Amino acid sequence: MIVMAITIGREIKRIDRKTFHEIDFHITGLAYFLHNTIGRLLDESIYKNVLARWCRDAGFRNVLTEEIIVVSYKDFSKHYFIDLLVEDSIIYELKAVHSLHREHDKQALSYLFLTGLAHAKLINFRPVSVEKRFVSTTICPEDRYNFFPETKYWLDWDEDSLNLKQLILELLHDWGAYLEINLFYEAICHFRAGEEHVLKEIPIMLDKTSVLGRQKIHLLNEKNAFKITAITKGIDNYEKHLRRFIQLTKLTSIQWINFNKNVIVFKTIQNR
């Protein structure tokens, strides 16, 4: 199935919550039995392969591991791999870590947005008892393409700044909003000859004289940096600290792009 520039190897079927829970009841039961049978100290790949086998043995027809999602634009592409896809409808991300954290939720949500599915489950086999978490979204693919760019606070200082804005808008047109910001960073680095040409250290100075140290930042050129965030709360506070940061540098500006759900704000933070 192809949705714009997002390619998935299967025909995805979005199901309602009731159907999800009916299927998940059996899968989660198998996960608990697996944990009790082989223990909690194995690698993620082992849990994934055995759980997939047991799902098939239990009668589920479509059970796939490492199902691929490809996101592309021109000659850029990024590959994602779903741990377990059941009945072309439910994503399972399997972990063997001390505990689940926010990044795992974000990963599962990203897969839901990319596939257009509504439901995913995180299962962690490392704790004493199986740790599980339900992840869902009501956002449909059509919603992700209904985004609103705000550019009135953006200054096209130079060709690099103009090209960055145009690239982000083109990527949004092809991919939609709500996706992880690292995907956009990787695309930008790709089209600017690689990360080594973009992510560089700059001196951090107190009163423009005393060097406090050096810090890596994404640069458009020697005068202008760029920053991509996905902040939905405390945006004003974050901007305040961006302004404090730039005052400790020789940069002219930081071109800031914030993904606040489907509102994409382009803002130039100047060094005054």
Residues 255 and 199 in one domain: yes
Check if the beta carbon of residue 271 is closer than 8 Å to that of residue 249: yes
Distance CA 251, CA 221 (A): 9
| Structural domain harbouring 231 | 147-270
State the average pLDDT over residues 19-32: 98
Distance CA 133, CA 153 (A): 40
Distance CA 61, CA 196 (A): 46
The last residue of a domain, from among 142, 172, 195: 142
Residues 8 and 133 in one domain: yes
Amino acid 209: pLDDT = 78
Which token pair is 27?
């899968």
pLDDT band at 2 (very low <50, low <70, confident <90, very high): very low
* Cβ-Cβ contacts under 8 Å for 176 (sequence gap 6 or more): 4, 113, 141, 144, 145, 147
The last residue of a domain, from among 105, 125, 142: 142
DSSP state of 137: -
Q: Which residue has the higher pLDDT, 208 or 77?
A: 77
pLDDT band at 4 (very low <50, low <70, confident <90, very high): low
State the average pLDDT over residues 223-247: 97
pLDDT at 254 over 60: yes
Residues 132 and 174 in one domain: no
pLDDT at 3 over 70: no
Residues 44 and 123 in one domain: yes
Residues 129 and 211 in one domain: no
Residues 21 and 129 in one domain: yes
Torsion of CA 227, 229, 233, 235, to 10 degrees: 20
State the average pLDDT over residues 168-191: 97
Amino acid 262: pLDDT = 96
Residues 135 and 164 in one domain: no
pLDDT at 30 over 60: yes
DSSP state of 24: H
Q: At what angle do helices 181-191 and 159-175 cross, to 10 degrees?
A: 130
Q: How many domains is the chain built from?
A: 2
User: Alpha helix (H) ranges present in 116-229?
Assistant: 141-144, 159-175, 181-191
Q: Which helix (H) or strand (E) holds 82?
A: strand 76-86
pLDDT in tens, 141-163: 999 999 999 999 999 999 999 99
Residues 67 and 159 in one domain: no
The last residue of a domain, from among 88, 121, 142: 142
pLDDT band at 105 (very low <50, low <70, confident <90, very high): very high
Helix/strand number for the chain, H first, E second:
7, 13
Residues 125 and 235 in one domain: no
